[in-house]
Structure 1
């Protein structure tokens, strides 16, 4: 019966009130002395407790000598709790909607901590997409998303994957370099993952050896930049394949990647102009 006392306390009764109501339920109507004995509440306290139960509607006082107390039937108590909480939930829902309608969701940037949380949020975005899913990730990080990606495709969503390595399953439109992940790791120690749903919400994360970092946002500027980054990656891949052919045959190391990129940029007439480096640049000490 300790669980009943705890539940009644969760519903707003004090411990003594819960014990007294429980004692009334055990043996039915009783006077204050009897309830004191059954509940373990001292006689100096029990009458104040019973008066509060009557005031709150948990008990009825029968005018007799001595006064006899009867519990509110359990079915009526449960009905009252249910009606009260349903009413409160409705008021809470209405109030929250009124407040939320005035918020600017575009300004929100939520942090994502850890690999599991990153994958969980990526799955949520894919499941929530209504039109299009765009993913940029390493092949090994696409694997935990494959069920959601296949379900999205089967539901008629456009699914687009970009990958510097190789995606080990087929779904939607896949654009991949096909490089071994150990080669990519020489260029980028962090594994970048980006998932965009309907170009409205995006997850952007870095999976690092020391710590995983990520954000989820509906800020249109950030989401558009992320999606456009994937578009440019796809166009760049197409241009490289057109000029070079099988990238996996030409690129065996991280240095090969830099050399191939520079050669292709030179072939396109961009060699004389500065371009962003495809790998992190070491910053001299003191700068």
Structure 2
């Protein structure tokens, strides 16, 4: 039975939250059971409806309750941080101490719902520190030295944008330089398939070329890094310097991504 102690120093919604959570964990409220409506519970306990809403929201965020439109709140069928054991015991058929075969699925032990509830709780509370749009400042300062030493590219940290992959970088470039939709991009081969195909999804035409002497007239150029698909072949420092000189003579300059050169 839910009760409110108005003499305690604990907030009312916290008391309500703790009691409902305890009832769920001890089995008083069974999985799938319908919870009292917020209006009914507020009237019964003589508290505001917002107080009940707050307690229910905390329980939903932590995975104890589920909420669906027009159906109210229900007790979850899978409690957070509770791992359901396998239906049948796993028979060890190998003499090796660790089983790396596909017969043992350890992913079933991962508390997915608890992870999602914790993620939702963090997002609701707000993230205290968000990286700058261009990426971590210290990391970009380190990239300045790396690019100068190994790529012979001389840039400042403000000219570097750190992305989560080539596709994100391509999307940023497409928005920053919309002229590429009419001037096209020259794409050096060989190169990873996604580095070639992603431009089509962004509405940017491409022209393929094998060597710098065969490069087409284009608004920008995508070159394969030395670590890239399929054989690790890439431009040596002298070839990169020669290419940069051609760009400078044509009033075009390196930009944005370590392997992308544009106008």
Higher relative contact order (CA 8 A, sep 6+): 1
- Settle same-fold status: TM greater than 0.5: no
TM superposition score normalised by structure 1 = 0.26
The TM-score, its normalising length taken from structure 2, stands at 0.28
Larger Rg: 1
